[in-house]
Amino acid sequence: MRFTEFSEFSYAYAVTDNLINGGLLPGIKGAPIFPSLYAEGKKGGGYDVEIPKRGAPLFLQYKIPQIVTRTSKNTPAGFDPPYYRIHLRQGNHSSQHLNLYMHERSGRLVYYAAPNFHTTLDLNSGFDKKMVPKESIFVRPSLIGLLDDAPHHVAYHPGSSIGWVFSEPHQIEGSITRERFFRDIETAIDAAPLQIEDGEFFEGLATEIFTSLKKARMQTEQVASEPKQYGQDIESTPRLFIEQELPRVSFEQREDEARNRYYQIRDQFGPIYATGYIARFYLDCQLLIVGRD
């Protein structure tokens, strides 16, 4: 077992920078939503990046892989080492994957992003050429499905369009390539309406996140008392984490906390900053607005 020579932060920075500085498709730009782009000390923010007039929100959770060099009893035939694998958070430790799954089902662009390389040399070279997004995989949560409380990870060979979900191995039914990722972005932008006022747009995005959190809570409550066979979709799912396995705070309290936190930040810094914060805190995602003028 080996590890990448760079940190998750370094990879995330490289992907985000490349996406907003030429690493997307021709004519498409990305505007990242994070605190460092705000003017300090100004009520309502002071946003420094232009939001595309026809844009779609993109939610990316960055992952860095382990490099697996040995086979195990669960390794599928033909899936030979070395290969990469990224870990997913267990259901009884975090509702994060379920939150992402539900948010994607609302129609948004939601992905796990991970590199097809593991050396600092490759990261630096890709960064300079604005190629890091093109040397990455992008996995939609729906391709993974809902998870039970066991440890799970996604495994892949660099450059392959095929991935596997473990611990009970099954092949991902769908492409994890950059080409599919870019096609998804183009489709979403083509379907996006002309931008309404920024504040209203971001208020709507925050409301969508709250709705996804609520749907995740409802899904958890639905299946917690009625275990299902692993590998089915939302209508027939594995046992998800139950509330008492997490810190003693109700799901409703978490939803209220999310809304209250958003309103407090919005009132001080504006809805753009607040929405980026909520995406980071509750989905662990970098939010970008990708689109055309």
Looking at residue 220, what is its pLDDT?
77
Lowest-confidence region among 53-67, 129-143, 154-168: 154-168
pTM of the model: 0.85
Whether the pLDDT of residue 247 is over 50: the answer is: no
pLDDT digits (tens, 9 = 90+) for 189-221: 999 988 777 788 999 999 999 999 989 888 877
pLDDT tens digits, 118-128:
999 999 999 99
pLDDT tens digits, residue range 231-242? Answer: 444 443 444 433
Q: With contact defined as beta carbons under 8 Å apart, do 250 and 180 qualify?
A: no
CB 233 within 8 A of CB 145: yes
Question: Sorting pLDDT into bands at 50, 70 and 90, what band is 5?
Answer: very high
- What integer pLDDT is reported at residue 250 of this predicted model? 59
The domain of 169 spans: 1-293
Q: Which of 15-24, 55-64, 216-225, 246-255 has the lowest mean pLDDT?
A: 246-255
Does residue 163 contact residue 172 with C-beta atoms inside 8 Å? yes
pLDDT, tens only, 256-285: 888 999 999 999 988 998 999 999 999 999
Q: How buried is 157 (Cβ within 10 angstroms: 0-12 exposed, 13-18 middle, 19+ buried)? A: middle
Per the structure, how many domains does the chain have? 1
pLDDT of 25 > 80? The answer is no
